[in-house]
Amino acid sequence: MYTSKSLKDFIYECNKGNDIFYLATEQQAIKKLSTLK
C-alpha cells in the first residue's frame, strides 16, 4: 500500500502499541477499538 520504508516502519511501530493505529478499513478500526479497555 505504501512505498516509503520510513512510513511503513512508523505505521508498524504505532500498531504495536495501544494509542495510535493505522488500519486499512473502518471496519478493522471499529473491531480494534472495541477490544481495547
Q: Is the pTM of this model over 0.85?
A: no
Rg (CA), the chain: 11
Instruction: Choose among 34, 35, 8: nearest CA to 22.
Output: 8
Cell of 11: 505505521
Residue extents of the structural domains in the chain: 5-34
Confidence at residue 2, expressed as pLDDT on a 0 to 100 scale: 76
Confidence at residue 36, expressed as pLDDT on a 0 to 100 scale: 83
Question: Looking at the predicted structure, is the pLDDT value of residue 37 above 80?
Answer: no
- The tens digit of pLDDT for each residue in 8-27 reads 999 999 999 888 889 999 99
In a 13 Å sphere around the CA of 22, the CA atoms on its Cβ side amount to: 12
